[in-house]
A and B are shown apart, each in its own frame.
Chain A
């Protein structure tokens, strides 16, 4: 029984630590080198860590929407998406990760990010936004 309690406590502490780590990541802070482990809204955050770190380096206190986009197969698609979002005055910065099929959009922390609006903008460019993750830096 002692062994069982011990294992149970260990599992509980690992689970709590993992949850704490996830919460820590959701708050943002320093993501350098371990973004591939980050969970946001219960989903693994899959981005290019170097690209992401470079993107957020000047975005302390801001929020970043990471959009998964399908059909983004070339620079022209990416450029169109970038141009579309840069027309939006609430957008601070945009980057496209072609390899990962992600679009990174930075907003001020008080901006209420509307996924449907983002989907419409991506569709106006001919691609489909399939998922969103929002992370505070």
Chain B
């Protein structure tokens, strides 16, 4: 493998969507990476069942200028499958390597057809000196309906708020996935790049 290909591969793996499909199929492993103005993170999880996943997330926290890890649990609270849609509600939590005073919990959910997507998330992080909340809303539409194995594309709009920074920030997001890989990137004037990547094994 050439250096150029290796660089592309490393770049591709560096950014992952932490919210998309937080639980794999039974026995599946998932690597996720994320980069935004607040943090860079790498998250690897295993799903013993489609109902929950356990994993480790390494975070390079740009806001607090520190590095730590979370032991994470995501649990599927509710799922409704219909012929053309799926709706999910998840509970998520994480315990930091910094100690018992640093942890998070929250929920996120989504509803998806092959054409439309809507999702939300709420996460409260407790630290020894500070607590803060992160929230987001996201909607999307697929401009075309791809078949199994095709490149799938989503045009999305994301709105997020972090107590530590400012008000709601709304920006466009592009999401592509093909095979086992997913890449998503958005850009806003205030928070700059918001890039995610996921690979499922």
> Does A64 sit within 8 A of B, measured CB to CB?
no
Name the residue among A84, A101, A123, A126 with the largest chain B CB count within 10 angstroms: A126
- Residue contact A75 to B178, C-beta cutoff 8 Å: yes
- Residue contact A70 to B81, C-beta cutoff 8 Å: yes
Residues from chain A with a CB closer than 8 A to the CB of B177 are 74-76
Residues from chain B with a CB closer than 8 A to the CB of A124 are 25-26, 49-50
- Residue contact A127 to B81, C-beta cutoff 8 Å: yes
Residues from chain A with a CB closer than 8 A to the CB of B148 are 75, 78, 95-98
Closest partner residue, chain B, to A127 (CB atom): B81
Q: How far does the alpha carbon of A78 sit from the alpha carbon of B21 in the complex, in Å?
A: 13
Interface size on B, residues (CB 8 A): 33
Name the residue among B25, B26, B84 with the largest chain A CB count within 10 angstroms: B25
- Residue contact B114 to A98, C-beta cutoff 8 Å: yes
Q: How far does the alpha carbon of A81 sit from the alpha carbon of B27 in the complex, in Å?
A: 12
- Residue contact B147 to A71, C-beta cutoff 8 Å: no
Within the complex, what minimum Cβ distance (angstroms) separates A108 from chain B? Answer: 24
> Does A36 sit within 8 A of B, measured CB to CB?
no
Q: How far does the alpha carbon of A113 sit from the alpha carbon of B50 in the complex, in Å?
A: 24
- Residue contact A125 to B50, C-beta cutoff 8 Å: yes
- Residue contact A73 to B26, C-beta cutoff 8 Å: no
0/1 string, B9-25, CB within 8 A of A gives 1: 00000000000010111
Q: How far does the alpha carbon of A133 sit from the alpha carbon of B113 in the complex, in Å?
A: 25
A79 touches which one: B112, B146, B200 (CB < 8 A)? B200
- Residue contact B50 to A126, C-beta cutoff 8 Å: yes
Tally inter-chain residue pairs, CB-CB below 8 A. 77
The A interface is mostly helix, strand or loop, or mixed, namely mixed
Residues from chain A with a CB closer than 8 A to the CB of B106 are none
Within the complex, what minimum Cβ distance (angstroms) separates A44 from chain B? Answer: 15
0/1 string, B76-114, CB within 8 A of A gives 1: 100111111110000000000000000000000000111
- Residue contact A76 to B21, C-beta cutoff 8 Å: yes
B114 touches which one: A73, A76, A84, A127 (CB < 8 A)? A73
Q: Can you give 17 A-B contacts (C-beta < 8 A)?
A: A70-B81, A70-B82, A71-B80, A71-B81, A73-B84, A73-B112, A73-B114, A74-B114, A75-B148, A75-B179, A76-B182, A80-B28, A84-B25, A95-B148, A98-B148, A123-B50, A128-B81
- Chain B residues engaging chain A, CB cutoff 8 angstroms: 21, 23-26, 28, 49-50, 76, 79-86, 112-114, 145-150, 152, 177-180, 182, 200
- Chain A residues engaging chain B, CB cutoff 8 angstroms: 68, 70-81, 83-84, 95-99, 101, 123-128, 130
Give the 8 A-B CB pairs with smallest separation, nearest first: A71-B81, A80-B25, A126-B50, A125-B25, A124-B26, A70-B81, A71-B86, A96-B148
